[in-house]
Amino acid sequence: MKRWLPVFLLLALVFTSASALAQADFASTAVAEYGQNVAFRLEGVVAEPVERVDLFLQPVGVERPFTIQAIRVTQTANQLVANVDLDPMDASLPPFATVRFWWELQTAVQTITVPEETFYYEDNRFTWRKLAAGDVTVHWTGNDAELGQLAAEIVAQSRATLDDILPPTAVSPLNLYIYPSTGDLRSGLRLADRDWQNGHTDPSLGVLLVTAVNPLTAADELSRAIPHELAHLRLYRLAAGGDFPHWFEEGMALLVEGFGEESGVLETAVAAKTTLPLLNLCVAFPEDANEVELALAQSASLLRYIQNQFGDQALRQVATAYLGGASCEAGLTQTLDMPLAQLNVDWLADVAPQPAWQTFLAENGLWLLLILASFAFFAVLLQSGLQKK
Ligand SMILES: [Zn+2]
């Protein structure tokens, strides 16, 4: 053992100094200008001539790193400097991603890996105001200092609502960006080679992107957009990137934003008896713009009906059935234990406007019954009184 000790110590010294060199002697930075450029820079001392410098970057959640060879490299008196300017599009950097990056240096005798650093690829075309509330960070622009607090409160409410009607899941930490206009939001996505899909942002980005265009209506806009987008984000996380049936996903998002009760398109269709069969939501979700609007209104309305009739847990169960692999139709029929055709009839009966006399009866039936009963009672009394005479 004693004979090996010096060798062991020597080896330990070599390894510690090699890693100390890699850890301590490099400065590795990235400065991102959203949609334009990311400037990477490496500075450090390397005793041997460096033959090749490669930069690796990997957004969190992306499978493979993107790699690029540094051309602008100088090494004088062991001081190495490498610079890389990268067009974010070339590396397909997702907006709002946390990006890990590291360098590999080739010398004639070894490869040195510089410890990784990270940067946050945020849309920094704006000067964002920031408010952190627990694990939620709100970013917004403009002069309204209160908007962040308001938005944080809406996030908290939306989370509570979604906790009740979805299987347990959390999106934490959560970043919320409130853009000053739809144009700014969309250009932000396009600068990262993304765009809206079906009218909203890609939930795989993992951030909430909404707009508050008008300070006077901001509260209203946010109290619709935040729960809607958060529902999409949570459903995406629940399905681990898979899909819920479209009617369920969009219906849920519309339900939590409070859409549906006052939907003119649904009222008109119910009155004209032109609602779509519920089965169509599953097997033939329309593509025509007018029909899409009706199908979405029906989706939200059906979910509200299920919630009112069977409770929040029924909505959770439908989601759980879908996550368990149930078909679009079976998710409903298994949970509610009735055929879709029956559900269609019951739902329609619930949303159909009742004739005025029916409504009157439903609201005042008990009183009418009491009045009638007392009339009958007096009639009997009167008759028996007459008979005695
Ligand atoms: Zn949506």
Which phi and psi angles does 310 have, rounded to 5°?
A: -115, -5
Ligand 1 centroid to 250 CA: how many Å?
Answer: 5
Residue 141 pLDDT grade (very low, low, confident, very high; cuts 50, 70, 90): very high
Contact 73, 82 (CB under 8 A): yes
> What is the mean pLDDT of the segment spanning 93-99?
94
Ligand 1 centroid to 170 CA: how many Å?
Answer: 18
pLDDT digits (tens, 9 = 90+) for 200-218: 778 888 899 999 988 889 9
Residue ranges of the chain that CATH labels 1.10.390.10: 129-351
Q: Please name the amino acid found at residue 217.
A: T
> What is the mean pLDDT of the segment spanning 256-263?
78
Task: Specify the CATH number of the domain 21-121.
Answer: 2.60.40.10
Distance CA 124, CA 239 (A): 31
Ligand 1 centroid to 310 CA: how many Å?
Answer: 24
pTM, entire model:
0.80
Ligand 1 centroid to 73 CA: how many Å?
Answer: 48
Ligand 1 (single-atom ion) residues, CB below 5 Å:
253
Ligand 1 centroid to 228 CA: how many Å?
Answer: 6
Residue ranges of the chain that CATH labels 2.60.40.10: 21-121
Q: What is the DSSP-derived secondary structure letter of residue 264?
A: H
Q: Please name the amino acid found at residue 102.
A: W
What architecture is domain 129-351?
A: Orthogonal Bundle (1.10)
Question: Is the model more confident about 382 or about 22?
Answer: 382
Which of 114-123, 241-250, 297-306 has the weakest average pLDDT?
A: 241-250
Ligand 1 centroid to 198 CA: how many Å?
Answer: 7
Ligand 1 centroid to 229 CA: how many Å?
Answer: 7
Task: Output b/e per residue, 7-42; b: 16+ Cβ within 10 A.
Answer: eeeeeeeeeeeeeeebeebbebebebebbeebebbb
34, 146, 196, 254 from 237: Cα distances, Å: 26, 30, 19, 18
User: If you search the block for the tokens 């930069």, which residue do you land on?
Assistant: 55
Ligand 1 centroid to 55 CA: how many Å?
Answer: 38
